[in-house]
Structure 1
């Protein structure tokens, strides 16, 4: 009696953050393209699962509470989760585990997986590289998407066409008629373009066709609500404010229906780029070459001052943001959008 061939089981470890998870999606798509019979699971932190649960290429999302792992007062709960996770991963009997996070936590998860082939970056931090038996030279001076794709080389996969597998996202339009999205939030204070600049930009757009026929929609996390309210007030109430009112899956659906997106360097920026929605991205302390919106359809705007990029999370004057005036952003949107 012939033996039944068991599908290859692959585990991707990329718990966070939003932008990094988006950047890892091309790896998922190419894995499934070249290993179509494989079963692929993904370890993800709670709060980010909305992007991956129900994805047609993913078998199971394995959730972790990564924030608990950082808190000594929750050590017993963390230990309990470690044991639960260890048992779950060993039951799955993975053949391959790919650690795209490269930190101690993800390295331990890779070890727990018991996979025969444990792939990770040779320059992974916090000692994570000690848990891999297959190490890849990633490089720090290339875009994150291309860096993560290097993790496929030990499997004999060399990407030719890079794509983001997000066809399962269903468009959901929050308003009648065309709209564009404004994303004024970011995790770093130094990435925040001034609220008054966003308000001025919305006012400029509202008086110029074809943008005057589009509704500006503000989106973001609950922590961005105060900024969004200030922007809407300063712009004369032009915008429809959905800040803090959408979950991750709903946010993706709303972005998919937008005409274009104006944004700081943020996680939702990467969602828009992955969905092939035109992005006008405002960059200050970070590098567009490393973590900018992926794809030639997008526009990055910077002040172009000598200290950029500095990668600092605090700054006394934020010249890189204040010297990029709303009139300049408006002119660029006008030129690029109408030229299409």
Structure 2
């Protein structure tokens, strides 16, 4: 099998956005490529979720930056470069399209002896990075992140992706002991930026509406601030459950059994999307047409509401839920 090095280091959502492109490749060129994924260390488990991923090479840049003057940092970086150069890749694809990822691609290319691929100067996120690839392909910027990755792979490997994407992730049969036995909705309220947060009053309103429909609410959290917000919401929503702090893997197991997921712009929304569960993406500080959830080959129930500078109304969320026809 040919050895493909994939450079897509972060973040959680960005990695998941790449999954459908790998699924397309496996369908159009079955058993022809094995993937080694260059990934930021905190997201290595995400990269491993896709069955095309055989190995990962850990990129510790975030931690290295904090410890630049430590001997161990430079030893680790040396080992990292050695790992990139020790394998004779057949090709390298950089889906990140930034100067940092371009430099990692250049190291792995072993003085230009290995072909490198990414977006063209007109299509890439960082136009300066485009000069470091041997092959650049034009992909419209107006597409979703998922579709841009799919189109890039299609042009590199000469095929046309199917109209609807497939994340290619096996639906998890295992059940977490934290998974409620009755029908439940996951209210994913935590995100990386305050301007992406949906108001607490609206979470409470939708939680109460779901309770009236026989759906209990569960709330995840990743920081103390999010934990306190989850508690405040749960105090106003009957039978709502504040989950303990869980790993990404455990959260995935729980989300895979949800009747419904309502999520702000966060990687967990895309994790839920891989499991083909009904999902609503709420956008307030970013554009839904780039990083929103998507309908898939196995799930038509994925809708985005709002956008940059917007604040979706609860009535609109209810309208979408009813259109899914998932309530008894």
- Alpha-carbon spacing, 1:79–1:103, altered in 2? closer, same or farther (3 Å): farther
Given that 1:274 and 1:294 are in contact with CA atoms closer than 8 Å, whether structure 2 keeps it comes out as no
- Alpha-carbon spacing, 1:32–1:325, altered in 2? closer, same or farther (3 Å): closer
Partners of 2:302 and 2:49 lie apart in 1 by 28
1:309 corresponding residue in structure 2: 308
Question: What is the CA distance between 1:48 and its match in structure 2?
Answer: 1.6
The correspondence of residues 34-113 of structure 1 with structure 2, limited to 5 A, is: 34-35=28-29, 36-53=31-48, 55-71=50-66, 73-74=68-69, 77-113=72-108
Find the partner of 1:177 among 165, 177, 182: 182
- Alpha-carbon spacing, 1:46–1:225, altered in 2? closer, same or farther (3 Å): farther
Partners of 1:62 and 1:241 lie apart in 2 by 35
- Alpha-carbon spacing, 1:78–1:135, altered in 2? closer, same or farther (3 Å): farther
2:317 corresponding residue in structure 1: 329
Question: What is the CA distance between 1:168 and its match in structure 2?
Answer: 6.0
Partners of 1:184 and 1:134 lie apart in 2 by 41
Cα offsets for 1:264-314 (capped at 9, x unmatched): 121111112222111122222322221110114212223xxxxx535xxxx
- Alpha-carbon spacing, 1:28–1:275, altered in 2? closer, same or farther (3 Å): same
Question: What is the CA distance between 1:169 and its match in structure 2?
Answer: 3.5
- Alpha-carbon spacing, 1:28–1:328, altered in 2? closer, same or farther (3 Å): closer
1:288 corresponding residue in structure 2: 288
- Alpha-carbon spacing, 1:102–1:334, altered in 2? closer, same or farther (3 Å): same
* TM-score normalised by the chain length of structure 1: 0.83
- Alpha-carbon spacing, 1:155–1:117, altered in 2? closer, same or farther (3 Å): farther
CA RMSD of aligned residues (A): 2.4
Partners of 2:208 and 2:98 lie apart in 1 by 44
Cα offsets for 1:15-52 (capped at 9, x unmatched): 11111111100111122233323221111112222223
* TM-score normalised by the chain length of structure 2: 0.86
1:166 corresponding residue in structure 2: 169
Question: What is the CA distance between 1:54 and its match in structure 2?
Answer: 6.0
Task: Report the 3-state secondary structure (helix = DSSP H, G, I; strand = E; otherwise coil) of the residue aligned with 1:48.
Answer: helix
Cα offsets for 1:241-263 (capped at 9, x unmatched): 125x2111111111111111011
In structure 1, the gaps of 5 or more residues are 1-6, 303-307, 311-319
- Alpha-carbon spacing, 1:325–1:151, altered in 2? closer, same or farther (3 Å): closer
Partners of 1:169 and 1:28 lie apart in 2 by 19
Partners of 1:164 and 1:150 lie apart in 2 by 15
In structure 2, the gaps of 5 or more residues are none
- Alpha-carbon spacing, 1:131–1:169, altered in 2? closer, same or farther (3 Å): farther
